[in-house]
Every structure is written in C-alpha cells, then in structure tokens.
Amino acid sequence: MRGKGGRQTIRDLAAIAGVSISTASKALNDTGRMGEETRQRVKRVAREIGFRPNALAQGLLSKRSFTIGLLTNDTYGRFTLPVMAGVSEALVDRGVSVFLCAIEDDPALGQVHVDAMLDKQVDGIIATGKRVDRSLPIDLTDVPVPVVYAFTEGGPESVSFRSDDAHGATLAVEWLKTNGRQRIVHVTGPEDFFSVRERSGAFRATAGEGASVFFGEWSETWGRDAVERIWAAAGEKPDALFCGNDQIARGAVDALRERGIRVPEDVAIVGFDNWEIVAAQMRPPLTSVDMDLKELGRQAGLTILALAEGLTVEPGVRTLPCRLVVRQSCGAGGSGEAGSLGNDEQRR
Amino acid sequence: MRGKGGRQTIRDLAAIAGVSISTASKALNDTGRMGEETRQRVKRVAREIGFRPNALAQGLLSKRSFTIGLLTNDTYGRFTLPVMAGVSEALVDRGVSVFLCAIEDDPALGQVHVDAMLDKQVDGIIATGKRVDRSLPIDLTDVPVPVVYAFTEGGPESVSFRSDDAHGATLAVEWLKTNGRQRIVHVTGPEDFFSVRERSGAFRATAGEGASVFFGEWSETWGRDAVERIWAAAGEKPDALFCGNDQIARGAVDALRERGIRVPEDVAIVGFDNWEIVAAQMRPPLTSVDMDLKELGRQAGLTILALAEGLTVEPGVRTLPCRLVVRQSCGAGGSGEAGSLGNDEQRR
DNA sequence: AGTTTGTGAGAAAACGTTTTCTCATTTGAC
DNA sequence: GTCAAATGAGAAAACGTTTTCTCACAAACT
C-alpha cells in the first residue's frame, strides 16, 4: 500500500475522505471541532492509504524539526558509539532522528557540519568526544539552538554529562576488598587525564592512602611493563590490581601469566571501560567497571529534548554512576552470585 | 553576527538590501535577470547579516532534503564506523547530512526508523551491516527512495558494495610468497561466512591447492587452538600463517611465542581487517589486509547521491579492492620499502 | 417568533523558499 | 519616430502542513 509512486499528501487524503484540508488536518491531530463520525472516517482513510505527514512542511510551520545533531570527534572510538546508541534509543520513539557528524579534530569541518545542521533547523545539538577534559575543536556557545555536552568538556555555563569515575573506582576497590584482597595497586593512564586523577583519588581514598598508583599510558604494553616493575621491586607483592582500562588489564594479565602468577587465585584484576570485545574474550574474563555510556547518551538525549521544548535546565555537570560487571578475574565473587548467570558474565 | 535570536529570513534580507523577495532569491542563486550591481549588493548584505536559507523550506519546494539515512544493525561494531565515516566525508561538502539509525536486529525498530526518515523526506537510504551475506531485518525493496547496500546483503535487483575478499587474500598470500615463504596455512572463521569461503578459495588458488585451511571461529582463542593443533600434528610445519582476522592472528602469535617460535623469523603472519587497535598494538605489529571500508562508504555515498539526482545506476554487486598494510609481522618487507616510513606502519 | 448559544466544517493565512509570469522601462533597429 | 527586443525587477503561485477565522445551520432559550 505504500511506495505507490509520489507520496500522498493531506490534500489527497482530504479528497478521498470527502472533507476539506483543514478538517483532515484537525481530524488527524485530534484538534478542532467536528462530528466524531467525520473524525473517524478521516483517520480510517488515512490508515488505508498509508498517509504520513511531510515532516518538512510540519517543521516549517512549527519551528520544530524533530531532528537533533550529534557532533563527535571520536569517529572510530568506542566511547561515542554507546553514547550514540543511547541518544538514539531515547529519542526514536518521540519521533526524533539524529544527524551524526564526525568532525575529527578539524575546526573547519566542524563548522561545515554545524552550519549544515543549523540550516536543517535541528532542534538541538549534543556534543560528545573521547575525553572528558577536552573540548571539541569548535565553539558552540553561540549557536542558536540548545546544546548539551556528553563525555566532553563543555565550559562553565553548559549542561554536561559525564560518568562518575570516582564512583567507578570505589566500586572496583570495594569489590576487591569484599573478596578479601588487602594489597591493591592501581595501574592507570597518563596523569593529565581528568578521569585518571578522579579515579586515582578515589582509589587512594578507598584503598588507603598508602596504596600505590602507577601512571603510564593506555596500552597493553604499559600493563605488562607495570607488572614487571612492580614484581621486580623488593617487598611484598600486591594481591590485586585495579587497572585504568581493559587494555592495561589485559597486558597485566599476560605478564602475570608469564611469571607463573595465577589470576585470580594469586592476584585479582579489575579493569575499566568494560570493553566487551576485550574484557569478555580475556582468559579469565575480566571484571570491569562500566561507565554506562548508553545511559549517559539517553540522559543527554532526554535533556536536549527538554531544552528544545523550552524547558529550562540548570547548567552544570551531571555525573552518572558506574556499575561493575563481574566476570571471573576476581574469583567467583563475594556473594556467590557470580556464575549464577552462566560462567561468562553477570551484570548489575 | 550569528545567533542573534531568531534567524534572519530572506524577507529580512530583501528588506535590508532594498529589493523584493524574489530578486533576493534570484540574486543568491545566480538565476533570473537583474543588474550586476543589484546582485552583488544582495550578496554582500547576505554575507553581512549571515543569512542562511532554511533548508526545510527549500526542501519542501525542491523535493530534495539533502539528507540521507544510514541504517545499520552493527551498533557497536567496527565495520559500520569506517563505512559511516566514508559516507559522511563524501557527502558533507555537497551539503548532505546523514541520519544514523542503529536498529540492532529488531524489525519493528527498523520500521520505526525508516518511517521517521521517510517522513523527513530523506533523499535515499544506505543500508549497512556487519556481514556481507546477511540482510538487515527489514525489507527495503518498497521504500519510495533509492537504496544502496554496503557491507550487507541487498538482494538481486539492488545496488551493493562490498570489499573484494578474494583480492585481499591474494594480496596476503603473494606478499608472503614474495618474502620467501613456502608453506602457508590459512586459519580463519566459520565456513558459513561468505567472506570466509571467498578468502579461502582465493587462498587455495594462490598458495596451491594442497595448502591447508583451518576453519574455526573469529576469536583469539581459536587462533591459539589452531596453532596448537597445527604444531601438534606430525610433519613439516608452516613458515607462514594467513589469518582470517586480526584477533585470530593475535591468538596465533601468542601461541607461537609460548612455543618459542619467533615471529616473523620462523613464521610470518598476515591478518585481516587491519583493526588498528589490535594490529598496531601487537608485538610485532601485524601486517594485515585492509578492506578500505571508508572508501566503500564513500562510494556508497556518491552512488546514493547520484540515484537521488535521478541518474540510473546499473544494479549489481560492486567489489572494491583491498590493500595490504605492511607492518613487521612478515619481516622487513620484500622490496625494502617497509620501514621507510618509520618502523611502525607503511601504507599503499 | 426572535435571539442566543453551540456545533460542524470550510476558507484563508502563515511558515520560508523558488520559480514562473507579468510589466514597465530602456535599448536598438529600421 | 515607431516598433520589436532586451532588460531589470516585482507579484504571485507553489510546496504540504497547521491554525485561526468565518460562517451556515441547528438547538436551546426567552
């Protein structure tokens, strides 16, 4: 019934239903006054011919396009993807579609994309990136539509969302403690990352001020190197490692195995990011902190929608709790739940 | 100058420039007849007040929205991302924006997204997925706009793009031969994948009919297991492995190292997918076949645009050549180029 | 019977463009 | 000096909706 050449307009609908255009419109939108019989007839005909209103025409009049833009400089990254999924999921059933604009780190390209979106009358823009403490290469403070920031720096007057890294670190350490670990060490990325400072701060607060933190880079290699350094040093060895991301964790596990140290029996490991493709494939599968970026995307989506509808939203940074995805790298789990969902993964 | 409350319309522009609306429009579009002085004046004023035409109004009239939809069921995957980047790159400077719709494998969700896009009068739809021989969970043959398929099955009458997997495999084997390898073995994924059959076929044709192929799964674990099996068997051992993806390659390299076999000295390795985050971080960095998905996306973008402009495009499958990204897992390289671009990577 | 109130439905304006048509004036040719 | 052609520019229609206004008619009051 659909796709029969040029789309049907409300004019066609009105003609078939034997009413005027205005009556047709009012019938469909449940506005205006008319006999119930007429209203139902119009609706029935609309259903029969598969009428769908032209959103361009609606947007022209209503000044709402039911379209938003998602700007990111993290084209290939694994952060933007879950955020996008969340945004899309939150908005699709409200009829909002999402323009995705990958702008790399090119300000000119960013401007082109922003202009194109504004021309298309987007109702708002969500800016997202790969790092919480860096901003996109383009200034959005003057765009004439609402903007919210997710997983990227937005400036003081903005509405921003990010995960609560301190909370994530606390979750990890507490889980290790629950499992009886005493000497926990934190191996993480470069200290100039805000997330790194956030997490290491919470780590020290929870694991004890004396607990050591090793800053390095976000690579597997660094995970291996860190283990070499720690085990080469004199003194008592850790019985648990909290790693700044899953790649570091993976390097660490490999290095431990090479030394004949068993995971999780001798050393328990917790990672960060819960990057499924690494965490779930590791042997043993890695317990990891999940930043719940999809939820972050959902919230950003709902917020931009609220702003687009004219509601006011308090500026400031909103942090979202992390959650721990328990797999086998810390043992079977404290409360005996681990494994109850099969031997691979357990959520929540 | 921009963002000063409600946007300027062509009516404002006309008033400021002291001409009628029609003259203003014609001036900007270089159409119609008028004095050169008038035309320039209008253009200058437009520039000064930062006038940008409302794309919704333009689209309403022209029946072209300069908007396309990208439908994918590979939300988190690494295939869709490069494709998207290519599409976006090819279209952005022609003023086309891209709706990204992640539909997982849910037909209902797919329908919602497609309907939303059609309502918004997209000029075309690109369907993309995670597997060349599977189609999206929604039938697009009846949508009233052009459709092209990229990295997903499109049906006989469709315009489809995919990489030339046979070519990729040939490249890999020839490179290994060039480097003096004689006994090449292919370790790859499940045989029910079209890509797997394509690649293994070309492998056999190039490496010799007697060359062995091991089918398994797309995991690191399978890479390790395959090496165990091959080295446990009696007879001469391979001096090169061509792996079906980078994860398999990684598992294989790990297993070889554990057996004290050196890469690339004793055994050379080539992977597939050139998934940077794996291939470049491996020790040694992995030589891998790149399917050039970004280029695939570019072509799909240009094609959908051509179709949207009314050109006819021959239906059928178009395959794009792969290219080999040479790193160190096969030795320094046959023609001495490898390393000339630094010790990490060499393209083309 | 005359006035108000209510009801069903259509006409027309509006949104911001582009395009076609019309028209007055100038230019050029004879 | 007349007529045809060319030129510059505006009026109006169109795109597909929504919304406000108007109006005819019927029902309910005096």
Q: What is the pLDDT of residues B51-102, one digit of tens each?
A: 999 999 999 999 999 999 999 998 877 898 899 999 999 999 899 999 999 9
Structure confidence at residue A3 as a pLDDT band (50, 70, 90): very low
- Rounded CA–C1' distance between A34 and D26, in angstroms: 14
Structure confidence at residue A337 as a pLDDT band (50, 70, 90): very low
CB contact under 8 A, B142 and A3: yes
For the segment A227-236, the average pLDDT, to the nearest whole number, is: 94
Alpha-carbon span A211 to A186, nearest angstrom: 8
**A246 CB contacts (<8 Å, ≥6 apart)?**
A271, A272, A273, A274, A275, A278, A279, A282, A286, A288
Q: What pLDDT is stored for residue B251 in this prediction? A: 95
- Rounded CA–C1' distance between A47 and C5, in angstroms: 36
- What Rg do the C-alpha atoms of chain A give, in angstroms? 26
What residue type is assigned to position A54 of the chain? N
Nearest nucleotide to A20 (CA to C1') is C10
SS3 per residue for chain A:
CCCCCCCCCHHHHHHHHCCCHHHHHHHHHCCCCCCHHHHHHHHHHHHHHCCCCCHHHHHHHHCCCCEEEEEECCCCCCCHHHHHHHHHHHHHCCCCEEEEEECCCCHHHHHHHHHHHHHCCCCEEEEEEEECCCCCCCCCCCCCCCEEEEEECCCCCCEEEEECHHHHHHHHHHHHHHCCCCCEEEEECCCCCHHHHHHHHHHHHHHCCCCCEEECCCCHHHHHHHHHHHHHCCCCCCCEEEECCHHHHHHHHHHHHHCCCCCCCCCEEEEECCCHHHHCCCCCCCEEEECCHHHHHHHHHHHHHHHHCCCCCCCEEEEECCEEEECCECECCCCCCCCECECCCECC
CB contact under 8 A, A120 and B92: no
Alpha-carbon span B42 to B23, nearest angstrom: 9
For the segment A283-292, the average pLDDT, to the nearest whole number, is: 95
Closest alpha carbon within chain A to B276: A76
Closest alpha carbon within chain B to A5: B144
Residues 156-185 on A with a CB inside 8 Å of B are: none
Residue A210, min C-alpha distance to chain B (Å): 33
Contact residues, chain A, for B221 at CB < 8 Å: 281, 283
3-state secondary structure of B46: helix
Alpha-carbon span B4 to A273, nearest angstrom: 41
Q: What share of chain B is helix, strand, coil (3-state, %, to 5)?
A: 40, 20, 40
Residue of A209, A328, A344, A175 lying closest to A265 (CA atoms): A328
Question: Considering CB atoms only, which of B5, B121, B144 is closest to A55?
Answer: B121
- Structure confidence by residue, pLDDT tens digits, B273-320: 999 888 988 889 999 999 999 999 999 999 999 999 999 999 999 999
C-alpha separations of B222 from A33, B183, B202 in Å: 69, 20, 22
Cβ–Cβ contact B90 with A under 8 A? no
What residue type is assigned to position B115 of the chain? D
- Rounded CA–C1' distance between B10 and D20, in angstroms: 25
CB contact under 8 A, A54 and B60: yes
**B223 CB contacts (<8 Å, ≥6 apart)?**
B187, B243, B247, B248, B249, B250, B251, B252, B253, B254, B255
Alpha-carbon span A303 to A159, nearest angstrom: 9
Alpha-carbon span A108 to B282, nearest angstrom: 34
Contact residues, chain A, for B103 at CB < 8 Å: none
Compute φ and ψ for A263, nearest 5 degrees: -115, 125
Q: What pLDDT is stored for residue A343 in this prediction? A: 37
Structure confidence at residue A210 as a pLDDT band (50, 70, 90): confident
Contact residues, chain B, for A60 at CB < 8 Å: 54, 56-57, 60
Residues 25-84 on A with a CB inside 8 Å of B are: 52-57, 59-60, 65-67, 70, 75-76, 78, 81-82, 84
Compute φ and ψ for B329, nearest 5 degrees: -80, 0
Residue B115, min C-alpha distance to chain A (Å): 9
Residue B205, min C-alpha distance to chain A (Å): 33
- Structure confidence by residue, pLDDT tens digits, A181-203: 999 999 999 999 999 999 999 99
Q: What pLDDT is stored for residue A73 in this prediction? A: 92
CB contact under 8 A, A88 and B97: no
Alpha-carbon span A152 to A135, nearest angstrom: 6
Contact residues, chain B, for A121 at CB < 8 Å: 54-56
Q: What pLDDT is stored for residue B209 in this prediction? A: 86
CB contact under 8 A, B56 and A59: yes
Q: Which residues pair with B101 in a beta bridge?
A: B71
- Rounded CA–C1' distance between A35 and C7, in angstroms: 9
Alpha-carbon span B12 to B21, nearest angstrom: 9
Cβ–Cβ contact A109 with B under 8 A? yes
Task: Check whether B343 has a pLDDT greater than 50.
Answer: no
- Taken in order of first residue, the domains within chain B and their CATH numbers are 10-53 (no CATH), 65-163+293-322 (3.40.50.2300), 165-290 (3.40.50.2300)
Residue of B73, B250, B272 lying closest to B172 (CA atoms): B272
- The distance of Cα B227 from the centroid of its chain, to the nearest Å, equals 31
* A244, two tokens: 């700044």
Residue of B290, B68, B65, B61 lying closest to B163 (CA atoms): B290
Contact criterion met (CB below 8 Å) for A295 and A263: no
Contact residues, chain A, for B247 at CB < 8 Å: 281
* B29, two tokens: 């579009």
Q: Which residues pair with B215 in a beta bridge?
A: B188
Is the Cβ atom of B108 within 7 Å of strand C at any atom?
A: no
Contact residues, chain A, for B119 at CB < 8 Å: 52-55, 95
Residue A75, min C-alpha distance to chain B (Å): 7
Alpha-carbon span A143 to A191, nearest angstrom: 33
Mean of all residue pLDDT scores within chain A: 91
Among A282-291, A333-342, B323-332, where is mean pLDDT lowest?
A333-342
3-state secondary structure of B24: helix
Beta-strand relationship, B67-72 and B97-102: parallel
- Rounded CA–C1' distance between A307 and D11, in angstroms: 40
From the candidates A97, A123, A273, A274, which should be mutated to test the interface with B, based on the most B CB atoms within 10 A? A97
Alpha-carbon span A61 to A10, nearest angstrom: 15
C-alpha separations of B140 from A222, B83, B91, B118 in Å: 48, 19, 22, 12
For chains A and B, CB pairs below 8 A equal 137
- Structure confidence by residue, pLDDT tens digits, A60-78: 999 999 999 999 998 877 8
Instruction: Evaluate the omega torsion of the peptide bond into residue B82 and state whether it is cis, within 30 degrees of 0.
Output: no
**A29 CB contacts (<8 Å, ≥6 apart)?**
none
Within 10 angstroms of residue A321's Cβ, the number of other Cβ atoms is 12
**A180 CB contacts (<8 Å, ≥6 apart)?**
none
Q: What is the DSSP string of B188-235?
A: ES-TTSHHHHHHHHHHHHHH-TT--EEE--SSHHHHHHHHHHHHHSSS
Residues 266-305 on A with a CB inside 8 Å of B are: 276, 281, 283
C-alpha separations of B274 from A77, B72, B282, B285 in Å: 15, 21, 12, 11
Alpha-carbon span B295 to B163, nearest angstrom: 10
Within 10 angstroms of residue B100's Cβ, the number of other Cβ atoms is 25
25-84 of chain B touching strand C, CB 7 A cut-off:
25-26, 28-29, 31-32, 51-54, 57-58, 60-62
For the segment B153-171, the average pLDDT, to the nearest whole number, is: 96
Instruction: Evaluate the omega torsion of the peptide bond into residue A146 and state whether it is cis, within 30 degrees of 0.
Output: no
- Rounded CA–C1' distance between A21 and D22, in angstroms: 16
Q: Which residues pair with A316 in a beta bridge?
A: A159
Contact criterion met (CB below 8 Å) for B280 and B122: no
Structure confidence at residue A7 as a pLDDT band (50, 70, 90): confident
Stronger pLDDT, B2 or A319, i.e. the higher one: A319
CB contact under 8 A, B75 and A56: no
Nucleotides of C under 7 A from a protein CB: 7-12, 14-21
Nearest nucleotide to A61 (CA to C1') is C15
Cβ–Cβ contact A250 with B under 8 A? no
